[in-house]
Chains A and B, each alone.
Chain A
Amino acid sequence: MLVTLLNSQYARFAALAESWLSLGATAFGIYQDGHPLIYWPTSHRLMRPSLMAPILRGDEELGEIRVTGVNGEAFQQRLRADAALIAYVLQLEEELQLMTADLVISQDQQLALYRLTQSMRDLVTIEEILRVVLAEAIRMLKPQGGFATFEPASPEDRLLIQQPDDLLPDTVVWGLHRQGLTSERPIVRSETDPEMASLGIHNVLQVPLRIRGRVMASLGLINRPGGFDAPGIKLACALTDQASVQVERTLLYQEMFQQTRLRTEMELARRVQVDLLPHTLPRIEGLEIYAESRPARQVGGDFYDFIVEPGRPFMFAVGDVTGKGMSAALLMTMTRTAIHSKSQFMPFPTPEAVMRQSNEDLYNDFTRVGVFATAFVGQYEAENRRLVYANAGHAPVLYRPVDGEAVLLRAESTALGILPDAHCRNQWLRLAPGDLLVVATDGFSDVRGADDTTFGIERLLELVDRLHHLGPQALALALFEAVDHFGQGQEQEDDQTIVVIKGAAM
């Protein structure tokens, strides 16, 4: 340090030497450990100085000033004052160097943090973020290694990263992680802790990461030579703060992505469902017909279908596949296609035969994916004004003869896809003028109102009795309105589908 000072302040030392020479000294020099560092005039080595004064830092002698040719207490005092001044300048120089070094480190760290922030913008997974932050913390703080943990609510998403990979057994790291969860602040532990000593850990710094208001992750650094000082802890905290922000951003991004995907899927499912429904109502002599399906936000698997073929009796179907979303929409398509193709192409289709063969087609696939479909298939016999129907587990189906009360038509067999053989049988009912058939789906009867009560079958029967004089469309709209009112404006939980057929004059 003294040599550095002499180099940087040579002119000032030369001026000091000149002043001593002008006072009568024959030589002036600075020594260290008995060896000359610099002296004036250059021919004089000051082997026998007349006065000496040590340059002290505390008790430590950094060097000494020597002069020859002068003596006496006044000169000695001046020489001691010069030595003290040089010592003070040396101290200032040292402090300046330390401050400069700190400044350089701090700038390096700021730059590293800036680069980290920039680079983390491109990271799209939490694992990538934790990996980068851990690597950066190890690079900047130089411990032996470290770990990063992440433990969200769903256990399958938890993460453990170690650098190097085999730094500590996983169980130990999770143990440290759990202990860290109880603290909001960084924890520093040393080998004085018997638990740490037994693991070969000299020191450990653990910084919790607060994500969405709770400690969900942590960064741990193990065995830093010299331990973890306040600036080191601060730096680790700055790194984890960055990581917390980035993890929150990533979680938000993932949620938005998931929501968008779900919305797209729901929209697609709704389109599949709506597009596959008949776009026009059939005109069948002797019948008035109305049909409508209102999909829920998360669509179910409701459908209705009309099969009108020249020279063949009019047939229709109403069905409901269990499940929601795209899978329900696709399975609904399968069910509708099975029933439609049988009704359209069998030589002599009857509801019973259509239902049995559809069940044969669908049973294996439905069993594999764990769903079933309720279905009602009807066939109109215009000549004797009857409806032949088969009901595979479908409800509610209501019939109100013109001269009687509304009744519930119970299914005679289980839904499609439940048993390998459908035990459907044809049933008959009269559809003379005024006779009314309402085939709805459970989206009507299951609507939830106040006190968690459901709309139920009884209310539907009462309504059909009261409104039987209405035409099919007016009756259907009245039923939609009634269940909407009962649901008190709550979001529709399931699809609501209805087909209303009323006997009319020929």
Chain B
Amino acid sequence: MDMKTYSAGEINVLEITGRFDASTVQPIATWLEQTTSTPGARVLVNLTDTTFVDSTALATLVQALKRCQQMQGDLYLCGMRHPVHMIFELTRLDKAFSIFSDKERALQAFAK
């Protein structure tokens, strides 16, 4: 797993490459905890190059989403491949998250 973080204006972007699971979750969880603890934080997690997510990864994203919402911020997801999107569908997490097909659309949604 590789993670890349950068800012696109006021939006903190996290890009995850490879498997996002219990064995790789720690640095991602740490980054998300720091980033989403800021009031009004706007966070985009780009899963375009993520090949797999397990339940620990999903829990990490859910925790970050809840924290972000408590702090009046937003956390969006974008760019899921089919197997990853299917996991979100099966667990119905697609109901809980705002999910966009690619980064550009997600950034546009933040701008609205």
Contact = CB atoms under 8 A, between A and B. Distances in A.
A350 interface: no
B96 interface: yes
Nearest to B58: A322
B22 interface: yes
A418 B96 contact: yes
Contact of A320 (B55, B83, B95): B55
B71 interface: no
Chain B interface residue count: which class?
Answer: 20 to 34
B63 A370 contact: yes
A408 B54 CA distance: 19
Interface centre among A371, A393, A446 (most CB of B within 10 A): A393
Given A324-B22, A367-B66, A370-B63, A414 B55 contact: no
B52 interface: yes
A449 to B, nearest CB: 12
Contact of A414 (B63, B66, B92): B92
A413 interface: yes
B52 to A, nearest CB: 7
B92 A412 contact: yes
Interface in A373-418: 374, 392-396, 408, 410-415, 418
Secondary structure at the B interface, as helix, strand, loop or mixed, is: helix
Contact of B91 (A371, A411, A493): A411
A456 B56 CA distance: 17
B58 to A, nearest CB: 7
A454 B19 CA distance: 11
Nearest to B52: A454
B48 interface: no
B56 A323 contact: yes
B109 interface: no
Interface in B16-75: 19, 22, 51-52, 54-56, 58-60, 62-63, 66
B93 interface: yes
B89 interface: yes
Interface residues of A, number: 33
Given A442-B54, A446-B54, A454-B52, A371 B59 contact: yes
Contacts of A59: none
B59 A323 contact: yes
Contacts of B60: 370
B7 to A, nearest CB: 25
Contacts of A370: 59-60, 62-63, 66
Given A411-B90, A418-B62, A452 B51 contact: yes
Given A393-B91, A396-B90, A413-B95, A372 B62 contact: yes
A411 B62 CA distance: 17
Nearest to B22: A324
Given A413-B95, A414-B96, A395 B56 contact: no
A447 to B, nearest CB: 11
A367 B66 CA distance: 8
Contacts of B89: 410
Given A452-B51, A454-B52, A393 B59 contact: no
Given A320-B55, A322-B55, A322-B58, A452 B19 contact: yes
A419 B91 CA distance: 13
Contacts of A457: 86, 90
Contact of A415 (B51, B54, B92): B92
A390 to B, nearest CB: 12
A392 B83 CA distance: 20
A396 B83 CA distance: 14
A64 interface: no
A393 B92 contact: yes
Contacts of B22: 324, 493
Contacts of B83: 454, 456
A494 interface: yes
A309 to B, nearest CB: 30
Contacts of A415: 91-93
Interface centre among B51, B56, B66, B91 (most CB of A within 10 A): B91
A446 B87 CA distance: 10
A419 B66 CA distance: 9
A203 B95 CA distance: 69
A394 B89 CA distance: 10
A412 B83 CA distance: 19
Contacts of B55: 300, 320, 322, 374, 442, 494
Given A322-B58, A322-B59, A414 B90 contact: no
Given A367-B66, A372-B62, A452-B51, A413 B92 contact: yes
8 contacts: A300-B55, A324-B22, A370-B66, A372-B58, A394-B91, A411-B90, A418-B93, A446-B52
- Across the A-B interface, the 7 shortest Cβ-Cβ residue pairs: A370-B63, A322-B59, A395-B90, A393-B91, A414-B92, A322-B55, A411-B92
Given A370-B62, A410-B89, 18 more contacts: A320-B55, A322-B55, A322-B59, A323-B56, A367-B66, A372-B58, A372-B59, A414-B95, A415-B91, A418-B62, A419-B96, A442-B54, A452-B51, A454-B83, A456-B83, A457-B86, A457-B90, A493-B22
